[in-house]
Amino acid sequence: MSAETPYFGPAYEYEIDPAFRPSFLNLERDAPSLPVQPGIVIRPVLGQRLNMNFVYFEPRTVAPVHQHREEQLGTILEGSLQFELAGETRTLRPGDVYVVPPDVPHGAVTGEEGCIVLDVFSPPREGLRELVERAGDQGSAEV
């Protein structure tokens, strides 16, 4: 990313791992829609070292304060919510990001408007792969 490691660096030999293939997905078509709490549905996309969860909050919905071992970054895609992180609460909108190190308590509440959030986790959120497998294949369009 410096002159020595440019962002778009030179090519090198590679092989595709049959257990982890490149793929294109459309969220509505390919990602399962999983209810995790009244008023909250997630659409997960799984990698091996990380995963995305697109999180759809209805208005006046509570994601209770909780903790997990995985590191989490998140951002607001649409709408707004009140986000509580380590005891401090902020109103977040598109353009806002939160950084949740492992084990740090966090939660969220929506008001009169709903909210769509994108959360990313590393490693993938515990138990998520099993939940997706129970819901059916990820249905990705492998290339």
Interface with a copy of itself in residues 10-39 (CB under 8 A): 11-12, 14-17, 20-28, 31, 36-37
CB of 120 to a copy of itself, least distance (A): 5
Q: Does 95 bind a copy of itself (CB under 8 A)?
A: yes
CB of 58 to a copy of itself, least distance (A): 16
Name residues contacting a copy of itself, limited to 37-76 (CB under 8 A): 37, 42, 45, 47-52, 63-68, 71, 73, 75
Name residues contacting a copy of itself, limited to 103-132 (CB under 8 A): 103-107, 118, 120-123, 125-128, 130-131
Q: What is the four-CA torsion angle of 138, 69, 75, 7, rounded to 10 degrees?
A: -80
CA distance 31 to 138: 6
The secondary structure of residue 143, as a DSSP letter, is -
Please list the residues that pair with 17 across neighbouring strands: 20
Six-digit token string for 119: 């959360």
Q: Return the number of the residue (1 or 112) whose C-beta is nearest a copy of itself.
A: 1
CA distance 64 to 47: 26
